[in-house]
Amino acid sequence: QRAAVDPVEDAIARNLTTRERESLRLLCEGRSNAQIGWYLGIAEKTVRNHITGLYRKLGVRSRAQAMVLAHRHPAVLAD
């Protein structure tokens, strides 16, 4: 029987990009995509792309799931 892959370990192994980590940090602060874009100096569409990438890497489907995962596993946000 194969051991289940821990999504957190998998995300860390895949190395979130710097922008994905920044986007996740701001998302965890409750910022909207528009606010994240303004803060990072990038287009809102680019923010959506970063968030989509980090959802895939974290194995989550929503902002709420991403926030819970980040709060339970702070290593996801580590530089």
pLDDT for 24 equals 93
Q: Is 58 helix (H, G, I), strand (E, B) or coil?
A: helix
Name the domain count of the chain: 1
Q: Is residue 66 part of a domain?
A: yes
Burial annotation 56-72 (CB, 10 A radius, 16+ → b, else e): ebbebeebeebbebbee
Q: Is residue 1 part of a domain?
A: no
Q: Supply the CATH number for residue 68's domain.
A: 1.10.10.10
Q: Structure pTM?
A: 0.81
Q: What are 25-78's pLDDT values in tens digits?
A: 999 999 999 999 999 999 999 999 999 998 988 889 999 999 998 888 887 777
Cα atoms in the Cβ-side hemisphere of radius 13 Å centred on 27? 26
Q: Is residue 2 part of a domain?
A: no
**What is the span of the domain harbouring residue 17?**
7-77
| Of 60, 61, 64, 68, the residue nearest 10 (C-alpha) | 60
Q: Is residue 36 part of a domain?
A: yes
Q: Is residue 56 part of a domain?
A: yes
